[in-house]
Amino acid sequence: MTAPLERVTRLIAELRLLPVDLDTLYRRQNSLSPLESLEVFLTEEQRLRTERQNQLRRRKANLPIEKTLDTFDFGFQRSVSKEQMLRLSDMTWVEQAYNICFLGPPGVGKTHLALSLAVQGLDYGYAVAFETLESLMKHLKIAEISKSSQHRLKYLGKCSLIVIDEVGFLPLTAAEANMFFSFVSSMSERTSLIITSNKGFDEWVDFLGDTTITTAILDRLIHRCEIINMSGNSYRLEHHQPIIG
């Protein structure tokens, strides 16, 4: 006859529940009624599930690195205020599917701030995703023949917040610009986009190639949008770190 602990542990595995550490859980709680005992178990099971979902959501977000506002030097970057970023950190704009565009030259902190809001979104429990425009275009172009791109696009469709980084670095073909328009259009008013771009809106036609499609994309994007124009010197260049030794 196997011990109850062994039998319950086996049942947990067979029922595909998460491996609650029964030993630790009940060691300090030996005078529980059967119902209280069940409550302790289910509460722990629920905690493990939430923790696992959060880890999965973070993995799926695919952030290149986690950044926070705490490490952002607002003294160096004066074109955006800490108050403005703290206000946006309440993430209420995600509920209203507002967009945010960070515009400015390289190194001024656009991606850092976009990532900070993405991290905050994850902490608040939203489904979040990070793509560069290049990686997004790749998924859109090969979705017909690539299961993983199909899955990624399906996931993006379920997200509340998507960061599209480095918009404007590479010129798009007419077909790509159309795909980008369809994507922005399909997200419009249901998913928040955070866009970072090294080009001002008046220069978008340079990489999108066509005035009509540029106007159509900007129209969807800017309709409900906070535009943050950033200027100044590159933090990378000013804080250049040589190898020591």
Based on CB atoms, which residue is closest to ligand ADP, 111 or 191?
A: 111
| DSSP codes joined into one string, the chain | ---HHHHHHHHHHHTT-----HHHHHHT--S--HHHHHHHHHHHHHHHHHHHHHHHHHHHHT-SS---GGG--TTT--SS-HHHHHHHTT-HHHHTT-EEEEE-STTSSHHHHHHHHHHHHHHTT--EEEEEHHHHHHHHHHTTT-HHHHHHHHHHHH-SEEEEEEETSSPPPHHHHHHHHHHHHHHTTTSEEEEEESS-GGGHHHHH--HHHHHHHHHHHHTTEEEEE--S--HHHHT--PPP-
Among positions 99, 109, 130, 204, the unique one binding ligand ADP when judged by CB under 6 A = 109
Sole window of 55-63, 100-108, 133-141, 142-150 interacting with ligand ADP (rule: CB under 6 A): 100-108
Among positions 99, 100, 110, 181, the unique one binding ligand ADP when judged by CB under 6 A = 110
Q: Indicate which of ligand ADP, Mg ion, none lies near residue 76 (CB less than 5 to 8 Å, by partner kind).
A: ligand ADP
Size of the site for Mg ion (CB under 5 A): 1
Distance between CA atoms of 109 and 115, rounded to whole angstroms? 10
77 in contact with Mg ion (CB under 5 A): no
Letters for 88-117 (x = contact with Mg ion by CB under 5 A, - = none) are -----------------------x------
Sole window of 68-76, 85-93, 177-185, 217-225 interacting with ligand ADP (rule: CB under 6 A): 68-76
Sole window of 108-116, 144-152, 170-178, 208-216 interacting with ligand ADP (rule: CB under 6 A): 108-116
Size of the site for ligand ADP (CB under 6 A): 16
Distance between CA atoms of 190 and 160, rounded to whole angstroms? 8
| Closest distance of CB 216 from ligand ADP, Å | 26
Among positions 64, 76, 95, 206, the unique one binding ligand ADP when judged by CB under 6 A = 76
191 in contact with ligand ADP (CB under 6 A): no
Binding site residues, ligand ADP, CB under 6 A: 67, 71-73, 76-77, 106-112, 196, 235-236
